[in-house]
Amino acid sequence: MTEVSPLTRKVGPIDLTPYLLGVRVIDAEHRQLIGFLNELITAGPGADLPRLVEGLADYVRVHFTVEEELMVAHGFPGYAAHKAQHEEFAARVRNLRETIAEPRSELGPTIRPFPGSELGPTTRLFLARWLVNHIDRTDRELTIYLTAGGW
């Protein structure tokens, strides 16, 4: 469960246990994805945010590709809506990546740190809540479909 302090809106690490869905490949993917997200949302001052966001962005792309290939291969009827959610979240993560790395020269990006070298609480909360809700609702629908089909 994602823990959120009502006073500080500080987001704690996500525990995957309540969100295990019973499809080994998807659970393994979620374990990896939540690992990247937990590292990012619990990052403190001095953390290498550009590296953490880049890692999350890269794995979001990998994970969503795996799920989408499963949906297509098994004829999942909710594919279009599920893919649209993936595209929305991936765009938000890309936007976050662009926000913290701004090209300034031909030599490469100049990193623009967040205030206090931390990710804002609103962004942390959005990332955590989106992923938990997506797994618990949308991905659960997919795994119910897959397991009903004998997968």
Give the range among 9-18, 38-47, 73-82, 122-131 with minimum mean pLDDT.
Answer: 9-18
Supply the range of the domain harboring residue 91.
17-148
Residue 113 region, left (φ>0) first, then alpha (ψ -120 to 50), else beta? beta
> Over 80: is that where the pLDDT of 147 sits?
yes
* pLDDT score of 21: 97
Residue 82 lies in a domain: yes
Residue 132 lies in a domain: yes
3 state SS of 118:
coil
Give the closest residue to 57 by CA, choosing from 86, 35, 84, 90. 90
Neighbours of 46 (CB within 10 A): 10
Task: Provide the b/e sequence for 66-102 (b: ≥16 CB within 10 Å).
Answer: ebbebbeeeebeebeebbebbeebeeebeebbeebbe
Residues 75, 81, 86: CA angle, nearest 5 degrees:
100
Question: What's the number of domains the chain is made of?
Answer: 1
Residue 2 lies in a domain: no
Describe the crossing of helices 24-41 and 121-133 by its angle, rounded to 10 degrees: 170
CA distances (Å), origin 29, targets 74, 89, 105, 145: 18, 16, 37, 18
User: Does a structural domain hold residue 64?
Assistant: yes
Least confident of 35-39, 52-56, 61-65, 102-106: 102-106
- Identify the CATH number of the domain in which residue 124 sits: 1.20.120.50
pLDDT value at position 10? Answer: 62
Decide if pLDDT at 1 tops 60. no
Inside any domain, residue 88: yes
pLDDT in tens, 75-132: 999 999 999 999 999 999 999 998 887 644 455 555 444 443 457 888 889 999 999 9
Residue 44 confidence (pLDDT): 83
Pairwise CA distance, residues 61 & 64, whole Å: 5
pLDDT reading at 8 higher than 50: no
